[in-house]
Structure 1
Amino acid sequence: MKLFRSRRVFLALLALAALLPLAACQREAQPAWRLNDVAGHLPDLDFRLTDDNGKPVTGADYRGKVAIMYFGYTHCPDVCPLTLTQLHVVLDRLGAPADKVRILFVSVDPARDTPAIMHTYVNAFDKRAVGLVGSQADVEALAKRYRSAFTREPDRGDGNYEVSHSSAIYIFDGKGKARLLATPSASQDDIVHDLHLLTSLEP
């Protein structure tokens, strides 16, 4: 009986010893992200909007691409142009893998940002950028989905106004899963590093 019990303990220890290297390998296989890892904390990429060519699109239309989503507007005086410029430089530095990436610029100013205006605006920064517009309700629902926010400031009396908005940069993998979160102040090196890792996971 003691021999049987000892043999059973020995086999259990042997099995555990065999699993330990596997567990270590699995830990090592996890990407060493430099940006904020939000996998499992934010929902998949999902929306119904209109792109800057006037075509109705959904989140599913960007499956197979790493999607970088940012909420902003074309009249933004500072953070939006700076962020789009930053992302353009990042994709240029990324090189060939940038073909697997799309920038999705979602307008929080549907009253002024038409598809045509968005098309001219985003293409001035990067040809891999897509402008997305929708109704006020659609954009508010999308912003809420990703815990973002925006508020239209009072009109200055000449028809001009600003829109205060969150500046988070959301990064989704080719399956539409939320993977990373960055801010406009994130370093280009860190964004390039993580996009390189993320695009390497795509077929």
Structure 2
Amino acid sequence: MKLCRAFLPALLLVVGLLLAGCQHDEPLPFRLTNISGHMPDLDFKLTDDHGKAVTGADYRGKVVLLYFGYTHCPDVCPLTLAQLHVVMQRLGPLADGARILFVSVDPARDTPAVMHAYVNAFDSRAVGLTGDARATEALSKRYRSAFTREPGSADGSYEVSHSSAIYVFDRDGKARLLSTPSASRDDLVHDLHLLLDTGATP
């Protein structure tokens, strides 16, 4: 489907700019796009899928995989969450040190209860986060993501086009990696091992 692809050129431009600003004498051990120092720390004020107010600070000590999507997404979101579940399985016991934060870009329909049922169908380490339209838009802009609501149909249903990158933060809440849809599970598993094994900051 065309949804979620509309923002691919913008995402590639961001990745290109990040790569252009990263000049190193020696290659870094990460396989994914290293965004260390190029994105702000993990920071937000939202509501989790238990109805509890949470902030980015509540996830300090965990490696966080941040993804923007919505529960009515017909393709990219369920596929991405299914892939992340496989990644978590491959990490084994190390996965307990990670959290998948699924931020809804459709707060009108994605209540905490809806989010809880959705994310837990994929992985127990996934947390659904939602907030009002202003908070969601601000967080999306913070990480140079984007989304837009498509025109609704006669029955009132609608879809939302959105960026599909995964942002990875270390245990200190520092932005470290950007995983695009073209990245392999092997590369994501490899890089998460680096962050989870030592919590190091290469």
User: Structure 1 length normalisation: TM-score?
Assistant: 0.84
Q: 2:68 aligns with which of 46, 49, 71?
A: 71
Offset, 1:186: 1.3
Q: 1:58 aligns with which of 55, 60, 64?
A: 55
SS at match of 2:181: coil
1:115 aligned partner: 112
Q: What is the correspondence of 1:124-139 to structure 2 with a 5 Å cutoff?
A: 124-139=121-136
1:99-124 Cα distance to aligned partner (Å, 9 max, x none): 10000000000010000000000000
| Structure 1: stretches of 5+ with no match in the other structure | 1-26
2:197 and 2:115 map into 1 onto residues whose CA distance is 30
Q: 2:141 aligns with which of 141, 144, 150?
A: 144
Distance 1:29-1:91 versus aligned 2 partners, 3 A rule = farther
Offset, 1:149: 0.5
Q: Is 1:44 matched up with 2:41? A: yes
Q: Is 1:165 matched up with 2:178? A: no
2:198 and 2:158 map into 1 onto residues whose CA distance is 42
Q: 1:105 aligns with which of 102, 106, 126?
A: 102
- The one-letter amino acid paired with 1:193 is H
Identity within the alignment, %: 72
2:26 and 2:38 map into 1 onto residues whose CA distance is 20
Aligned length in residues = 177
Deviant stretches of 4+, over 4 Å = 27-31
Offset, 1:157: 1.4
- The one-letter amino acid paired with 2:102 is F
In the alignment, is the contact (CA less than 8 A) between 1:31 and 1:197 conserved in 2? no
1:163 and 1:122 map into 2 onto residues whose CA distance is 18
Offset, 1:30: 7.8
1:202 aligned partner: 199
| Structure 2: stretches of 5+ with no match in the other structure | 1-23
In the alignment, is the contact (CA less than 8 A) between 1:43 and 1:146 conserved in 2? yes
1:70-128 Cα distance to aligned partner (Å, 9 max, x none): 00000000000000000000010011110100000000000100000000000000000
SS at match of 1:171: strand
Greater C-alpha radius of gyration: 1
